[in-house]
Every structure is written in C-alpha cells, then in structure tokens.
C-alpha cells in the first residue's frame, strides 16, 4: 500500500483526502491519504514517524510551507524561487526532496490564451503568506512586468520584498497598504483566507467599490475553494468580470503532487468530482 499525508495546523475539513483517494482509484493503486493536524512542536517528530512508517511523501499546508524547508535534504528550483514548499517526496533512503506544486496549480487553472495576455502587464496580489509567494513566482513565469502586494504590515513583508528583489530583478515589486484604484491591474489574486466558509465567509479581501473600478478585461482569481464561489468572486461576476475559483488550483496541485509521490498520472476530472461531492 502507498501511504501519503497532509500536514498542517489547524486543519479543518480538508478536501485533500477525498482528492487523493480519487486519484488512487483512477490509476488502480492501493493507497491511503491521511490528514494529520500537527502542532508546531510536533512537526519534526511527525515527519520522522512518516519516514519510519514507509510513507511515500506528504503535502504541507499552513503554517509549515516555509519552515518545512529546514527538514529537507534537497529541493527543486521552484522551492528556491518561492521560498516555500507544499509537497515533500520521501526517498527510499529517508532523504526528503521538496517541491512547490502550488505554482503549477495556480498556472494551470488560468486558460492558456489568457496567460499569454498577462505578459508585460501589472498584477495585484492580496496577502503576503506562503501562497502569495507561489502566486508571485507563477506570475513572474508568465512574464508579468509589475507585481503589487497589498499587505497589512510592511515590516512583516520585508522578507518577501527581499526575496522578490533578489530572485526576480526584471520584475518590479511593491508592497502597498492602501488601495485607491485597481484599474491598472490585469489580474487580482486573493491569497488571504477572507471568504472561506466559517467566520470569514461574508468577508471580502477587497472593497466592492474598488472592484467596480477594475479593468473589464481583468482576471479576478481567488485561492479560496470552500465555498467554490466566494463573495469576492460573486461580486466580481456580477460586475461582468472574468473569475477563477481556487478549486481547480487545488486539484491541479494535488494532481502534480500525486505524480511525484507515485509516478502515476491521476485523472483530473475524477479528482475534482470527488472534491465537489465532498463540498
């Protein structure tokens, strides 16, 4: 049996188990995917347990996407660029290799013809966490010329600013705390939890009055996947804007991780349908 897992804290009703289980079924593999809520003081101990128990790898979510790099033996170029990891392959000798499949997932959810139109344009990223880092790398790879990050604290964003300025010198990066107009942006991405089912469900990551000023050809992208249509996306759609929800990104990154863990290409539609049934 192939064993994989998701590590994070706190973990609510994660879709990852349903998605990866559907992936196993789609390729005819006997496997299981555990969702493990791990407090920070238990992270290293839990990873060592997974290695001893023969797990093929694990995914990483909030708040460990940055810190888990300390546990790795090796990592790919995208982890180096983004400064964070969401997928770890455990080698037979116990070495751990880190990947960032969020970058792939974010990119694949955007239709190819729309990606091409982002070259040389300006992007707005709402938030500055691990997900924002992956989004930034993806946007750089799509040759976006300028990326603004709307942040709450300039001090807490200094590391991300330094990372962007060091790794991507051809891309202009700014940290902004106040927005008065978003009409210059060709894509606006929410990487915050605002809009997620629960206490944040009725919250917007950006004011409706700003969305009303958005460029009519802009992409409005939300990494939140539960609900599948957040208030942010519904508002944008009502304004006639093109929207992308977080579910496709979640499934695409899971598909990539599954292939890293097993060497098999799972069926995207079966994985997405499993997620929708769970929701």
Left (φ > 0), alpha (ψ -120 to 50) or beta: where does 184 sit? alpha
Convert 46-67 into a string of H (helix), E (strand) and C (coil): HHHHHHHCCCCEEEECCCCCCH
Six-digit token string for 182: 């978003």
Catalytic residue selected from 25, 42, 44, 65: 65
Distance (Å, rounded) from C-alpha 131 to C-alpha 138? 11
**Residue of 92, 89, 100 whose CA lies nearest to 263:** 89
Six-digit token string for 147: 């990326």
Reply yes or no on whether 91 is catalytic: no
Distance (Å, rounded) from C-alpha 244 to C-alpha 219? 7
Angle in degrees, CA 72, 75, 78, rounded to 5: 140
Distance (Å, rounded) from C-alpha 91 to C-alpha 68? 16
Angle in degrees, CA 220, 222, 224, rounded to 5: 165
Q: CB 108: neighbour CB atoms within 10 A? A: 19
Catalytic residues, by residue number, are 65
């Amino acid at each position: 049996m192939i064993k994989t897992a998701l590590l994070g804290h706190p973990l609510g009703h994660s879709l990852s188990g349903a998605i990866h289980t559907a992936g196993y079924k789609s390729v005819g593999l006997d496997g299981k995917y555990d969702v493990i809520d791990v407090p920070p003081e238990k992270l290293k101990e839990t990873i060592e347990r997974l290695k001893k128990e023969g797990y093929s790898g694990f995914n990483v979510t909030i708040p460990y996407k940055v810190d888990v790099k300390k546990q790795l033996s090796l990592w790919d170029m995208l982890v180096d660029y983004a400064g964070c990891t969401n997928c770890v392959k455990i080698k037979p000798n116990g070495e751990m290799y880190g990947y960032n499949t969020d970058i792939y997932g974010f990119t694949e959810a955007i239709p190819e013809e729309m990606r091409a139109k982002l070259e040389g344009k300006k992007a707005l990223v709402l938030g500055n966490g691990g997900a924002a880092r992956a989004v930034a790398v993806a946007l750089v790879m799509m040759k976006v010329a300028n990326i603004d990050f709307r942040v709450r604290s300039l001090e807490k964003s200094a590391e991300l600013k330094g990372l962007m300025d060091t790794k991507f010198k051809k891309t202009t990066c700014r940290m902004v705390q106040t927005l008065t107009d978003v009409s210059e942006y060709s894509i606006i991405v929410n990487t915050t939890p605002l809009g997620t089912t629960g206490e944040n469900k009725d919250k917007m990551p950006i004011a409706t009055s700003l969305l009303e000023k958005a460029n009519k050809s802009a992409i409005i992208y939300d990494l939140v996947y539960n609900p599948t249509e957040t208030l942010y996306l519904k508002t944008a759609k009502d304004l006639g804007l093109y929207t992308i929800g977080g579910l496709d990104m979640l499934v695409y990154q899971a598909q990539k991780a599954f292939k890293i863990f097993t060497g098999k290409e799972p069926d995207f539609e079966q994985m997405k349908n499993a997620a929708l049934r769970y929701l």
